Structure 1
Amino acid sequence: MTGVLISIEIDAATVRRGDQLTIGGQIFTVADMTALPRNGKRLHFTTGDSLTLRPTTILWAARRVNPRRLRGR
């Protein structure tokens, strides 16, 4: 995958597949998500681990973006 990694603030509404979160010094990449009641999400990582993200939870993630796409905005 091409592009650059940027640091972005995420919550249950803005998290995307491919986002990389650092938790306890380990990097976890979001592989899939499941919607939960009250706008929460369960994140499934490539490692097989999962994390429940509530609507009020805010985390920082690394997201790969294509800078050429951002230039036109």
Structure 2
Amino acid sequence: MLVAVEIDAHSVRRGDQLMIGGQTFTICDMTALPRNAKRLHFTGGETMTLTRTTTLWAARRTDPRRLPRR
């Protein structure tokens, strides 16, 4: 199940999917940079730098059995 989550350099995870310019990019690896930034590596070979002040929306795959009950 995919859910929309707000991410920043602290909360981004491998496997998150970003929609940029109408294309979906899946994060396969990350590199820590100075000043709490991260360089995101996508499955297609592209990279993107996420600074500590950048906030984006991503799709994250979750297991519905592990979601908190309301």
CA drift at 1:24: 0.7
Unaligned runs of 5+ in 2: none
1:21 aligned residue (11, 18, 42) = 18
- Where in structure 2 are the equivalents of 1:51-70 lying within 5 Å? 51-70=48-67
**1:72: Cα distance to partner?**
5.8
CA distance, structure 2, for counterparts of residue 27 and residue 17 of structure 1: 14
Mapped to 2, the partners of 1:13 and 1:25 lie a distance apart of 25
Unpaired runs of 5+ residues, structure 1, are none
Deviations 1:38-70 (A, max 9, x none): 000000000000000000000000000001011
Q: What amino acid is aligned across from residue 50 of structure 1 in structure 2?
A: T
Which residue of structure 1 aligns with residue 47 of structure 2? 50
* TM-score normalised per structure 2: 0.95
Give deviations 1:3-26, integer Å, cap 9, x for gaps.
x00000000000000000000110
The answer to whether 1:41 aligns with 2:38 is yes
